[in-house]
Amino acid sequence: MKHTIACGDTLELIKQIEPASIDLLVTSPPYWAKRVYNGDGEIGSEETPEAYVSRLADFFDELRPYLKPTANVFINVGDTYFGSGAGAWSKYLDNDGNVTQAQKDRKEKYFTTKPLQPKIKQNGKLYQNKQLLLIPSRFAIEMQERGWLLRDDIIWQKPNRIPASVTDRLNNTYEHVFHFVLNKKYFFDLDAIKVLGANGRMKNPGDVWAINTQPLTGNHTATFPEQLVEQIVLCGSPKDGIVFDPFLGTGTTWIVSDRLGRNCIGFEINQEFFDFAQSRFKESRVSE
Ligand SMILES: C[S@@+](CC[C@H](N)C(=O)[O-])C[C@H]1O[C@@H](n2cnc3c(N)ncnc32)[C@H](O)[C@@H]1O
């Protein structure tokens, strides 16, 4: 297998890749206002959910020339509530919205060095505390408006989701994985993921996938379960094809692609995650 794995900003690194060469893009971008991976200005740190959706769609538009006309794109995007983490603002921010000195002094690494959500004034409409923002749907619609063809809205249901402490709504136990294509004719190997039906015949697996989350050690907690990526790689790319993850994180897409006989292109901007992905990949080969 020929893998191209590099540490840096995907929008720079992609320029080394041959146009129209990628069979499958599968990824999970940073979600809006959920985590701090790399600091100011990173994707996910936008002032509003709308700005996030627009920037994320810009990001995928820039990658589009590198996809084959028959390519598949699977993007897992998470949602959040307006005002989520609002209780932490006083700890993180002073009245002018600047990070407090006390918070800077904590020198914590990921996730806690700034408030999870920017301070946005409530407007009684979309912007009101407790509002589910429907970010995945907004993103999918934005992509459609830019010409991407949406083929599936896969529900990744998480049977092992930890119980929530909330008492005035239901525990959220799923995420969306959108399947986009560029053209009406595209590669798709349904047989590769068919499941056994009650009548003993193989059938379409449907668009609700019950897959447990897979915790890893280390600082990166937003990892893809290998089984989720496996399903996508199997139906979305030919053997020996090229699979691309523009937000490689801990390297799940790389490991799965290698195991399934696909070449992988993977870019990750955070050096620590990149190093972790390297060691995880080496281990995966030893344990085969
Ligand atoms: C949700 S995580 C991906 C997790 C991955 N699916 C896994 O299984 O580990 C998003 C990753 O994108 C990285 N990232 C954010 N902006 C980036 C950029 N412009 N170029 C490359 N990587 C980026 C972050 O550092 C983070 O590791």
Residues listed for the chain: 288
178 close to ligand 1 (CB < 6 Angstrom): no
222 lines ligand 1 (CB under 6 A): yes
Over range 124-130, report the average pLDDT: 94
pLDDT of residue 95: 67
Q: What's the pLDDT score for residue 90?
A: 62
CATH code of residue 56: 3.40.50.150
Q: Is 224 in the pocket of ligand 1 (CB under 6 A)?
A: yes
- pLDDT at site 33: 85
**Cβ contact 257:264 at 8 Å:** yes
CB distance 82 to ligand 1 below 6 Å: no
Q: Is 180 a member of any domain? A: yes
Quickly state the pLDDT bin for 83 (edges 50, 70, 90): confident
User: Does residue 167 sit within a domain?
Assistant: yes
In this prediction the pTM is 0.92
Q: Among the atoms of ligand 1, which is closest to the Cα of residue 273?
A: 27
At residue 272, φ and ψ (nearest 5 deg) are -65, -45
Q: Is residue 249 part of a domain?
A: yes
Domain residues for the domain of 8 are 4-80+129-287
Q: Is the pLDDT of residue 250 over 80?
A: yes
Per-residue pLDDT tens digits for 42-78? 899 898 999 999 999 999 999 999 999 999 999 999 9
φ and ψ of 14, to 5 deg: -60, -25
Of 93, 9, 74, nearest in space to 43 by CA:
9
Lowest mean pLDDT of 127-141, 204-218, 222-236, name the range: 204-218
Residue 216 covered by a domain: yes
Helices and strands, number each (H, E), in the chain: 8, 10
Rounded Cα distance between 272 and 265, Å, is 18
- Report how far residue 240's alpha carbon sits from residue 253's, in angstroms, rounded to the nearest whole number: 15
Q: What is the pLDDT of residue 158?
A: 96
Total structural domains within the chain? 1
Mean pLDDT (the chain) is 90
Ligand 1 atom having least distance to the Cα of 270: 25
| 257 contacts 244 by C-beta, under 8 angstroms | no
